[in-house]
Chain A
Amino acid sequence: NAGVTQTPKFQVLKTGQSMTLQCAQDMNHNSMYWYRQDPGMGLRLIYYSASEGTTDKGEVPNGYNVSRLNKREFSLRLESAAPSQTSVYFCATSPWGTYNEQFFGPGTRLTVL
């Protein structure tokens, strides 16, 4: 039972390159979330998916796209990376009816040069 897994753990990109961050869960949770964490800013919600087939913007969606591939997987895509997207990215999941308690993956540390 792996919980929430994220790949890759680390990534370095050049400005303008694209990449996809992967998140998978084996907890059978319905809702999934993508956050970014920057020093002094706490966690900011990028996108979330309440259930398979739905996605919604969070607080800071510009420059990102998401895909809820199935119940288990939720990916985050940077189409043209910018240095401002250098951050640590966390995926989280939540089952319905639990006051929105969320379970976090280990994170992806992304550097854009």
Chain B
Amino acid sequence: AQSVTQLGSHVSVSEGALVLLRCNYSSSVPPYLFWYVQYPNQGLQLLLKYTSAATLVKGINGFEAEFKKSETSFHLTKPSAHMSDAAEYFCAVSDGGGSNYKLTFGKGTLLTVNP
């Protein structure tokens, strides 16, 4: 069974500061990993994904994440926070492609950006 743990349900940073959102996973097979962002009153939007190619993955809006197998981690970072980054972020893991595989989501981290 796969699972995802997001450390910190709420992270607060100042505008211009580094953003670091933590995600650890467990999976019995090589995982595929995703970060989604949810802006208020909207659905989830894919930020980036790891699918066993490069371990450093770049996504939209200046975000990136690094897959570290030894640490079973997939932390999300952005060098300089912007007010528009305020949202809830979800890490998710899949154990494969195909027609009937599922995503397992973490409980989410709410990012607040202070002026």
Q: Is the CB of B103 within 8 A of A102?
A: yes
From B9, B42, B49, contact of A101 by CB (8 A)? B49
Within 8 A of A (CB), among B19-43: 32, 34, 36, 41-43
A104 with B43: CB separation less than 8 A: yes
Give the A interface residue count (CB, 8 A): 28
From A58, A100, A104, B44 is in contact (CB under 8 Å) with A104
Please name 13 further chain A to chain B contacts, defined as beta carbons within 8 Å, in addition to the given A41-B107, A50-B99, A101-B34, sorted by A numbering: A31-B100, A42-B108, A48-B100, A50-B100, A58-B102, A92-B44, A99-B94, A100-B94, A100-B97, A100-B101, A104-B43, A105-B43, A107-B41
Q: How far, in Å, is B49 (CB) from chain A's closest CB?
A: 6
CB atoms of B51 and A99 under 8 A apart = yes
**Majority SS of interface residues in chain A?**
loop
Binding site for A on B (CB under 8 A): 9, 32, 34, 36, 41-46, 49, 51, 90, 94, 96-103, 105-108
Does A98 touch B at the CB level, under 8 Å?
Answer: yes
8 Å CB contact of B102 from A100, A105, A106: A100
Q: Does A43 contact B (CB under 8 A)?
A: yes
Q: Lowest 6 CB-CB distances: which A-B pairs, in order?
A: A50-B100, A104-B43, A42-B107, A99-B32, A100-B94, A104-B44
Q: Is the pair B98, A97 in contact by a Cβ cutoff of 8 Å?
A: yes
CB distance from B98 to the nearest CB of A (A): 6
22 contacts between A and B (CB under 8 A): A31-B99, A33-B102, A42-B90, A43-B105, A50-B99, A50-B100, A58-B102, A90-B43, A90-B44, A96-B97, A96-B99, A97-B98, A99-B96, A100-B32, A100-B94, A100-B97, A102-B44, A104-B44, A104-B45, A105-B43, A106-B43, A107-B42
A28-43 vs B, Cβ < 8 Å mask (1 yes, 0 no): 0011010000001111
Tell me whether B42 and A56 are in contact (CB under 8 A).
Answer: no
With a CB–CB cut-off of 8 A, which chain B residues contact A92?
44
State A48–B104 Cα separation when bound (angstroms): 13
